[in-house]
A = this chain, B = another copy of it.
Amino acid sequence: MIISEKEKRTTAYHEIGHVLVALKIPESDPVHKVTIIPRGRALGVTTYLPVDEKHTYSKEYLEATITYALGGRAAEKVVFNNFTTGAGNDIEKATNIARKMVCEWGMSEKLGPLAYGKNEEELFLGREITKHQDYSEKTAQDIDEEVRAIVTKGRNRAEKILIDNIDELHRLSEELLEREILDAEEISKILKGEELPPAKRNGMHNNSDTKEEEVPEHVKKLMEKKNIKSPEQPNTDKGNDSN
């Protein structure tokens, strides 16, 4: 896969967008590693490290996840004032979490502690299931508004974080363009202004570094809930998917 310099640059900023937003929100999963070495259809990947195994998720954690998921797109907006199709997965992920917050987990004040759309599905063996919405157009509209409000709030918060930390965004992105991979320690050093040892990996595409990251189990669970179309690497923000 040959990638143009322009796309590489967009990808680096996109990934650092995820990284920087996640770093600035205490409730986020900590960033583990970020890379712009292409893997499969993804031009870049950010992976996260869970502090401890979670079994339930707080509203704040979910809002944080939506926010750093939109961090990549926010970086494209803030730096290049443009969007690419590469944020499609991030958008889908953020929307799905927000919708479940409203429709399953009762986290919208307006809609209240009610379940929406969990209607009766009776499986007759070998026959199909048609899932119908079990609420009115009026309620559908309320749900849409709440979901849109949650995602938009995350978008705005991500953009604000990046604008407030624009220097760090540039510094990290340039370093990522140079080294292609950055781990948590290196990111930390860059942010503190410390010198990094010379990049060895650049251009080498060292296999051991790019081997598939383990997706944290607790994240898999969240995403595997039946209504989220589970992406292959759910808690990695694949910055710029090649479409």
Contacts and interface: CB of A to CB of B under 8 A. Distances in A.
Nearest to A74: B113
A113 B91 contact: yes
Given A59-B83, A86-B56, A91 B120 contact: no
A211 interface: no
Contact of A59 (B10, B82, B121, B225): B82
Contacts of A99: 134
Given A56-B243, A130-B130, A136-B140, A94 B114 contact: yes
Stoichiometry, copies per complex: 6
A55 interface: yes
A133 to B, nearest CB: 7
Contacts of A143: 136
Interface string A84-108: 1111101110111011000011110
B131 A128 contact: no
Contacts of A112: 148, 151-152, 155
A19 interface: no
Interface string A160-195: 000000000000000000000000000000000000
A204 interface: no
The secondary structure that dominates the A interface is loop
A106 B83 contact: yes
Contacts of A43: 55-56
A85 B56 contact: yes
A155 B106 CA distance: 11
A213 interface: no
Interface string A140-162: 11011001100110010000000
Given A56-B85, A242-B55, A135 B124 contact: no
A29 to B, nearest CB: 14
A124 B118 contact: no
Given A96-B115, A118-B95, A83 B58 contact: yes
A84 B139 CA distance: 23
A237 interface: no
Contacts of A139: 140-141, 144
Interface string A50-91: 001111111110100000001001000000001111111011
Contact of A55 (B7, B115, B229): B7
